[in-house]
Structure 1
Amino acid sequence: MTSPIRRTALARLLLATALAASVGGFAGPAAAAEDTPIVVARNMDVNSLDPARGFCDTCQIYLTAVYDTLLTLGDDNKTLVPKLATSWEANDDQTAFTFHIAPNATFADGSPVTSEDVAWTLQRLKNIKGDPSFLMDSLASIETPDDKTVVIHTSEPNSEFLGILAASYTGIINKKLAEANGATAGEDAATADQADTWFFANSAGGGAYELDSYRTGDELRLKANPNYWDKKPAISEVIIKQVEDAVTQAQMLQTGDADIAMQIDPDTAATISDPEIVVDTVPSFNFLYIAVSPGAKGNSVPLTKPVREAIADAIDYEGMIDFTVGGKGKLQPVAIPNGFPGTDDLPMPKQDLDKAKSLLAEAGLSDGFTIEAHYPAVNAYGVDISLMMQKVQQDLSRVNISLNLTPTTFAVWREEVGGDGIPMTAVYYAPDYFGSAQYVQYFSMIPGQPWAKRAGVGKVEDLGNGEKEAELLKKAMASSGDAMVGAYHDIALQMIDDKVIIPLVSPDLVLASRKGIEGVRYSACCNLALGQLSRD
């Protein structure tokens, strides 16, 4: 089998040859800019097009374009700015939030966006119990004193609730239209709601775009919303094309078959010299990680705390960044992005083979053991996860841990990780809004949280930090300023100590597009804001 390093070099050679042979430019007939679709090349990871069920990077892009949220993030990726809500207020203890909806806001069918739509949408998000439902964990009740005023009450102080409402999964749905097609927001929505299939072929939002069509494994087409109440989109149609690898995405940019490529890795980007292609590299809040599950049925040995620590100590983190993104990335100590509240001055991960071997010896595993790794075979943020896991395999072999690699599809992976569990897996994460609570609620060992359940909290020992993490999260949610940051810092230290989620690399983001495409930027809530795109 060709080694990963040689395979990467071969890919670069093939790309350079293809680009040198290309004539460049788009050969089709001239057309007015607003009538020419923008084509986005990316490896799509769609699990649903329903705002209450979808949970993926492509989902963020789609939902942001089709469903307006109450608030959104400004260009600095930190400041909240108005969207459906023209203004808002919060009480002193961060448990009541009042929003005033734009009087001219409408859905794509022309009907007005009302407070009832907002209340129904958020209650449905909570009750569907899909992957993004954790965003509404603290939702207690919603009042609608009039058609354009919403008062949301949380069950406990939530200093990040305003930020949560900028997440694409909180996009407001046309209640009447969705209910007519099987949607419900009742407490039994997890079983009673029958709208998931309908959402794959239809949209019910009021954003800049509407769903035109979706073909699994092929393309996602969006058309401009003719009734959009806010600034009209400059492009009449956006097509997201399924393109698995960075080399092909780069070739499509070169030939004009794509206007934007979203998963160009730094190595591939370095081979592009076409003056018609604009390449920017910026730091990101994205990261890739491995996760170890002591509760998975397929474990060959108990994945106790010392064993998990040995796995973490065996990894060559600096080498991983060089190997996966050619050094164009950052170390990340915890499953909270660098730069988010509480992440300053955390201990950086480092390889320590002697310590790893000592820990394994103490656990009676000097001769090593075998562990299964199943993961989605995708390219995320320019990183080929299969290649990344080959590097993990090589690192672990140095301490006599044999890693069996099984790449799979996202559909199979989701079923496995939510079923009997996977001893080791690898995947990625992007922020839904600017705030650290989302990471604690997803990655901590607090009982009931997604990765706590997957890891086996309550079923196996050595996962005891959840209670302390829960106390600290409560403190952070009721605090602001330095007190909040300090609480998140303490949580981060506990999450590092869990040794369940082990971040490997935070890749710099390559933004690649054809010259003349404006508005291409990285958004922490939306990934890529299609409504801001235009053609010069």
Structure 2
Amino acid sequence: MALNFPKLFRGAALVLAAATAFHAGPLLAQDQPLIIARHLEINSLDPSRAFCDTCQIYLSSAYQGLVSLAADNKSIEPLLATSWEVNADQTVFTFKLAPNAVFSDGSPVESKDVKWSYERLKNIKADASFMMSLVKSIDTPDPKTVVVTMESSNSEFIGVLTAPYTVIINSDVAAAAGAKADADASTTDTAEGWFLANSAGSGPYVLKSYAPDDELRFVRNDKFWGKAPAIGEIVIDETADAVSQAQMLQSGAADIAMQVDPDTSKTISSPDVAIKTVPSYNFIYVMFSPGAEGNKVPLTKEVRQALAYAIDYDGIIQFTVGGEGKPQASPIPNGFPGTADLPMPKQDLEKAKSMLAAAGLADGFELDVTVAQLNVYGVDLVLLMQKVQQDLARVNVKLNIQPVASAVWREQVASPGVPFSARFYAPDYFGSAQYVQFFGMIPDSFWLTRAGQKGKVDLLNQKETDLMKKAMAASDAERDGIYHEIALQMIEDKIIVPVVSPNLVLAYRSNIEGVRYSACCNLPLSELSRK
């Protein structure tokens, strides 16, 4: 393995600084930059365009939403909104904003900023825009009151607002930089480049600098209206693989390593490093795109179901994370509403062969695979696909694997489509609607559009669509059963096939406190401190 000299020198400086801080006192120790080793894989720093795991960390640190997800990963707490009211049919949501909330430039957070931020998120039409898809109108009767009216019932809207992609932007500052919120914002907005060097939020940190494929640097927001975070400066350092992250952690070059896999964690024996393994809601999935141009045979539902039966799920869990993970039944993760007692996937080679024979494919076929060269949640996606390649070979299906950069994968999956691939997902908030809206075969969902290549192949599931409308209007007591029915439909669709929900390894220096897994925000930076 080639040595990364800049990281080594940075680590030496960090160790020296930490030693100096120890003798100078605890206040100085908190002022030393805290280094987090992780693969950045950032698609944007624009709150209305960002959609990635590191984006979750960034947005929840430099910005704030109206509400937040509590440490139990289920309860909702006030943030920029001190209170809210919801009408009986869950179509009108009224929020009262904190009177003392200010942005990082000292200007007040007002209802106009909320209206502008939500309208921009919807009209930019990026990956997270679905979170505002049901919003009909937003009224601002006074500077501290916001009234959001829906097209139809939206029982999960308050939960949606804990997602970091729904943060509130300083509309005056962003608009001056070219940001737009109008209906044509997707073509007229010119602010994405500005957001790579500037933040415009009310969070505990502000963006200091971002160097693609190198680092993302935060500094404490001196005008923060809440409790000031303990750490004055935080750096997320681009470190692509688990072994390098573990080495940085043990040497003191990093304080936290975020993507150490279970096997690598077992090699760490330093008394100065703490390792905790916890269940997560993250998962890795494979997906089929029947509308992709490169398909050599029609990927009908029966063919997709047959190929899913050929996959060795238990073997994948052992191969990818050494058994430190769980199977997952549907694209709604274990523990979310509707997932109790779902049938877990099982390999059945005889059934796979029988179904392929019934489809006239007993002699097999070739399937092109484009997969991003990423290691996420301790899983190398290329190695995962090589394991699946071995599984499908047992039913005479040959996978042609083409590893590509993640940015290339994003482009290809949009057009001309990717016949078969693997990807990952982390929750944006605690609630099952996000998974149906993103993965479900319902109108305008991300994967209906991508898998069908904008209607080239009709994949719409009308029963799923009707159930989703019912779920959005249901009471808390009714929703669980409805999402269970939806999950069963998504299992039958076999567009998205989860293969492993990895346990999460929390790896950090023993003097760091506040490290925890957040189901919306990945790692809450403002809770970190040094002993």
| TM-score in terms of structure 1 length | 0.94
Confirm whether residue 414 of structure 1 aligns to residue 403 of structure 2.
no
Q: Could you tell me how far apart the structure 1 residues matched to 2:213 and 2:358 are?
A: 48
CA-CA distance at 1:226 after TM superposition: 0.4
Q: Which residue of 2 aligns with 1:480?
A: 475
Q: Does 1:134 align with 2:130?
A: yes
Measure the CA separation in 1 of the matches of 2:124 and 2:396.
Answer: 44
Per-residue CA deviations over 1:31-60 (Å, capped at 9, x if unaligned) read 212210111111111000011000000000
Give the conservation status (yes or no) of the 8 Å contact 1:304–1:462: no
Please give the alpha-carbon distance, in whole angstroms, between the structure 1 residues aligned to 2:156 and 2:453.
26
Distance 1:342 1:203 in 2: 37
Q: How does 1:260-279 map to 2 (within 5 A)?
A: 260-279=256-275
Residue of structure 1 aligned with 2:248, choices 245, 252, 255: 252
Equivalent positions of 1:161-180 (< 5 A) are 161-180=157-176
Report the Cα offset of residue 225 of structure 1.
0.4
Structure 2 residue ranges without an equivalent (≥5): 4-10, 22-27
| Equivalent position amino acid for 1:35 in 2 | D
Q: Where do 1:149-160 residues align within 5 Å?
A: 149-160=145-156
Identity of aligned residues (%): 60
Counterpart residue identity of residue 112, structure 1: P
Q: Does 1:517 align with 2:516?
A: no
1:222 paired residue number: 218
Give yes or no for the alignment of 1:35 onto 2:26: no
Q: Choose which of 305, 314, 323 in structure 1 pairs with 2:301.
A: 305
For residues 141 and 227 of structure 1, what CA distance do their matches in structure 2 show? 32
Please give the per-residue CA displacement for 1:317-345, whole angstroms capped at 9, x wherever unaligned: 01110110010101001001100000011
The partner residue of 1:388 within 384, 390, 393 is 384
Q: Which amino acid aligns with 2:385?
A: M
8 Å contact kept, 2:243–2:260: yes
> Structure 2 vs 1, CA of residues 302 and 517 (structure 1 numbering), >3 Å: closer, same or farther?
same
Residue in structure 2 matching 1:526, options 516, 521, 526: 521
1: CA distance, partners of 2:309 / 2:455: 25
Distance in 2, matches of 1:159 and 1:63, equals 24
Distance in 2, matches of 1:193 and 1:397, equals 48
Letter aligned with residue 135 of structure 1: M
Whether the 8 Å CA contact 2:331–2:439 is kept in 1: the answer is yes
Amino acid at match of 1:156: S
> How far, CA to CA, are the matches of 1:124 and 1:36 in structure 2?
37
The size of the alignment, in residue pairs, is 515
Per-residue CA distance 1:78-136 (angstroms, 9 max, x = gap): 00001111111111111111111111100000001001001100010000000000000
Match in the other structure for 1:89:
85
C-alpha spacing 1:460/1:124, structure 2 compared with 1 (3 Å): closer
Aligned to 1:26: 15
Match of 1:455 in 2: 451
1:461: how far off? 5.6
Alignment match of 1:105 (pick from 101, 107, 111): 101
8 Å CA contact 1:260, 1:513 repeated in 2: yes
Distance 2:259 2:454 in 1: 38
Q: Secondary structure at the match of 2:159?
A: helix
1:431 Cα deviation after fit: 0.5
In the alignment, which of 504, 513, 527 is matched to residue 499 of structure 2? 504
Helix, strand or coil for the counterpart of 2:390?
Answer: helix
C-alpha contact 1:445 1:457 (8 A) present in aligned 2: no
Q: Using the alignment, how far apart are the partners of 1:515 and 1:238 within structure 2? A: 17
1:425 corresponds to which of 421, 424, 432 = 421
Q: Distance in 2 between matches of 1:366 and 1:503?
A: 25
SS in 2 for 1:94: coil
What is the match of residue 344 of structure 1? 340
Distance 1:87 1:482 in 2: 23
Q: Aligned to 1:358, what secondary structure does the other structure show?
A: helix
Q: Quick one: structure 1 residues 383 and 458, their matched pair in 2 at CA, closer, same or farther if it must change by over 3 Å?
A: closer
* Matches for 1:318-397 after TM superposition, within 5 Å: 318-397=314-393
Partner Cα distance (2:425, 2:455) in 1: 26
TM-score of the two chains, using structure 2 as the length reference: 0.95
Letter matched to residue 340 of structure 1: F
Matched, 1:437 2:427: no
2:20 and 2:434 mapped to 1: Cα distance? 46
Contact 1:207 1:228 survives alignment (8 Å): yes
**2:364·2:396 contact (CA, 8 Å) conserved in 1?**
yes
Shift of the alpha carbon at 1:460? Answer: 5.4
Runs of 4+ in 1 over 6 A off after TM superposition: none
Q: CA deviation at 1:284?
A: 0.3
Does structure 1 residue 75 correspond to structure 2 residue 71?
A: yes
Mapped to 2, the partners of 1:185 and 1:322 lie a distance apart of: 47
Partner Cα separation in structure 2 for residue 181 and residue 296 of structure 1: 38
- Is the Cα–Cα contact under 8 Å of residues 520 and 528 in structure 1 kept in the other structure? yes
Report the residue type matching 1:118 in the other structure: V
Paired residue type of 2:97:
I
Task: Tell me the amino acid that sits aligned with residue 234 of structure 1.
Answer: A
| Structural mapping, 1:110-125, within 5 Å | 110-125=106-121
Distance 1:276 1:443 in 2: 42
Contact 2:292 2:453 (8 Å CA) reproduced:
no
Pick the aligned partner of 2:40 from 44, 69, 82. Answer: 44
Once the 2 structures are TM-superposed, how far is the Cα of residue 360 of structure 1 from its aligned partner?
1.1
Match of 1:191 in 2: 187
